[in-house]
Structure 1
Amino acid sequence: MGSFSREIEVRGHLIDSSILTRIFDGVMDLKGDFEVLEITIGKRKGDPSYARLMVQGGTQVHLDRILDIAYRAGATSKVERDAHLARAPKNMAMPDNFYSTTNNRTQIFLGNRWTDVQDMMMDKCIVVKGKRAACVPIREVKRGDLVVVGESGVKVTPPERPREGVNVFEFMGSSSSSERPTQHIARRVAEDMYRTKAKGGRIVLVAAPP
């Protein structure tokens, strides 16, 4: 592959939880390229799977967009890199390209170890104080706080999809998650809405920050 490429890996219930599907769809939706270098599928219900991929973009910015989707789906860089930190310029102000959190379990790589991020919430930032990392609302950020920026050194663990399957509105980690605005996902959401209405169910729309 070209110079704008990165080797990534992902572990877990890759098939049942649609993790690989989300990564593949994200790369293709962004007109990127990928190559499966290694894949091992768990043979039993509780066995995790493993995949090692090479993803490629046309430019560094293009590759970064692809990696953003892959990392948020649960992948990590094959070469472990420390999370990037930048200081908040003033109270309730974020450094450029700060990492916006999800509800899923998140860890950051600092000082040769993975550290759990405490108090996970949606659409917040990660502030590091000493050896502790915590999810913090923007309104609570103080000038000089160390904030995680970019996707490097951040690992997200998506929730596992039960083998029986569930409705997309009942499972945040499905391929129809609101965090994956692609044509494929839009189609899945439309199908779920149609089935829900056909059964006489109700649909609630919740607005989120842009």
Structure 2
Amino acid sequence: MAVTETYELKGHIVDSLLLAKVLDQVLESGADYRLDVIDIGRTATDTSRVVIEITADDDEHQLRLAEQLQVHGVNPVDATDATVVVADADGVLPTGFHSTTNLATEVRLAGHWVPVANPEMDCGLVILDPPDGGVPVVRTVAMHRVRGGDRIVVGGLGVRVVAPRIPAGTSSFGFMDSEVSSEKPKGLQLDALADRLRAARTADERVLVVCGPAVVHTGGGPEVARLVRAGWIDVLFAGNGFATHDMESNVLGTSLGVSVTSGAGTEGGHSNHLRVINEIRGHGSIAAAVAAGYIGGGVMYECTERNIPFVLGGSIRDDGPLPDTMTDVVEAADRMRELVDGVGVALMLATTLHAIATGNILPGSVETWCIDINPAVVTKLADRGSHQARGVVTDVGPFLRQLADALGA
């Protein structure tokens, strides 16, 4: 039996083509729609609002479609309190749990809309008692962090999502207007990024940098170290490889056995990174190696000297690994979650796996820049829900040198 529900969508939904995307998705699902209210903003800064009546084949079809559309900020008009169910066991969400997006979200409790404190995609929503006895606190919770007795939001009723914001100055169509175009002027992109980092410093926002080993291979390691030393970087995420080659380049002058000054291979250089890892393991930690004078420069040195928190997330292919590398990826992700609070800008530098992992835990409000020679990295991030990702398709080493110069690092 056909089921009809009414939804609302508001924001910059016309110039971003969001409304067209939503209506196409309704039809592609086999449902139908009717626009009840259309209120289009008069200027580029005005928001628009539409009320959409959607008819689906049955309740299951309607609920499934509503969940898919909520990613775009489509919310039911008839607001009711969220349904809350108590979790039965540790690490298991109740059946039908609400699956979150990374967009700003609110949950209706006792007639009041309560903002979710830490938006993150692919999580549940847990209701916590306030410390002062006031309004309850709503947070996202990863599946493995659920505990028996937790109050979890189930279904989509009583949950609303704010439509994603389009960056100022963008339009629905323009020549070379793609966020991942390799033909965009790199100088203009660099200026825009430098301005954004200056704005972040003024607003007291934290800057997160995610680095892949290619940062060191392309000569960008010293430039990242400059940025850390000058106070432009507040948090670092990387893997065992990046940290290893950063320290290898500073101790032995090579990166994966290749000279960082001449670009030529060195005799026996294929084992250089292993020898560095072994020495660090002998000291017990990167901090101990720095204190002993074994490490005298580089990104990891600067982070250690300036108490910049970092997470080195391990993988099955790591050599060693370094004693600071977190081999439990669940623990690593949890540690990353602890460090993203207050981050306003994230830079993904020549890394795919760590960029995607970081994008999965970042709120959609965090402006994310991907600097990579491979444009597919930005596309992969967007495909996995990080719609805020902006791409600079270029060799990361020279770009970082220009960025550090522009910031006076």
Q: Does the TM-score normalized on the shorter chain lie above 0.5?
A: yes
The 1:137–1:63 alpha-carbon spacing in structure 2 relative to 1, beyond 3 Å, is: same
1:38 corresponding residue in structure 2: 37
Q: Give yes or no for contact 1:109–1:115 (8 Å, CA) kept in 2.
A: yes
Structure 2 segments unaligned to the other structure (5+ residues): 130-135, 172-176, 182-372, 385-409
CA offset at residue 89 of structure 1? 1.2
Partner of 2:94: 95
Give the corresponding residue for 2:160.
155
How far residue 12 of structure 1 moved from its aligned partner, in angstroms, is: 1.0
Q: Does 1:62 align with 2:61?
A: yes
Name the counterpart of 1:124.
Answer: 123
- Counterpart in the other structure of 2:138: 133
| Residue 79 (structure 2) aligns with | 80
User: C-alpha distance in 2, partners of 1:15/1:34?
Assistant: 17
* Contact persistence 2:31–2:55 (CA under 8 A): yes
1:47 maps to amino acid: D
Cα distance, 1:94–1:201 mapped onto 2, change above 3 Å: closer
Distance 1:88 1:96 in 2: 9
More helix by share: 2
Residue 22 of structure 1 and its aligned partner are, at CA, apart by: 2.6
Deviation at 1:169, TM superposition (A): 5.8
Query: Which has the higher mean CA deviation after the structures are superposed, 21-30 or 85-94?
Result: 21-30
Moved over 4 A (4+): 205-208
Alpha-carbon shift at residue 96 of structure 1 (Å): 0.5
Q: Structure 1: how far apart are the matches of 2:58 and 2:92?
A: 29
What is the distance in 2 between the residues matched to 1:66 and 1:201?
Answer: 34
Shift of 1:201: 4.7
Check whether the contact 1:19–1:74 (CA below 8 A) recurs between aligned residues: no
The answer on whether the counterparts of 1:99 and 1:150 sit within 8 Å (CA) in structure 2 is yes
When normalised by structure 2's length, the TM-score is: 0.41
Instruction: After superposing the two structures, state which structure 1 stretch, 67-76 or 117-126, moved more.
Output: 67-76
Per-residue CA deviation, residues 132-183 of structure 1 (Å, 9 max, x unaligned), is: 100111121110101111111111113212352453569xxxxxxxxxxxxx
Counterpart of 2:375 in structure 1 is: 202
Structure 1: gaps of 5 or more residues = 171-199
Within 2, Cα distance between the matches of 1:167 and 1:139?
37
1:59 is displaced (CA, Å) by: 0.9
What are the Cα deviations for residues 87-143 of structure 1, in whole angstroms up to 9, with x where unaligned?
111000110111111111111111111110011112111100131100111121110
The residue matched to 1:5 in structure 2 has which SS?
strand
Query: C-alpha distance in 1, partners of 2:68/2:119?
Result: 19
Q: Distance in 2 between matches of 1:77 and 1:106?
A: 13
1:167 aligns with 2:178: yes
C-alpha separation in 2, matches of 1:202 and 1:141: 36
Larger Rg: 2
Distance in 1, Cα, partners of 2:375 & 2:68: 30
How far apart are the structure 2 equivalents of 1:5 and 1:140?
36
Give SS of 2:51's match: strand
Report the secondary structure of 2:116's partner residue: strand
SS in 1 for 2:19: helix
TM-score by length of 1: 0.77
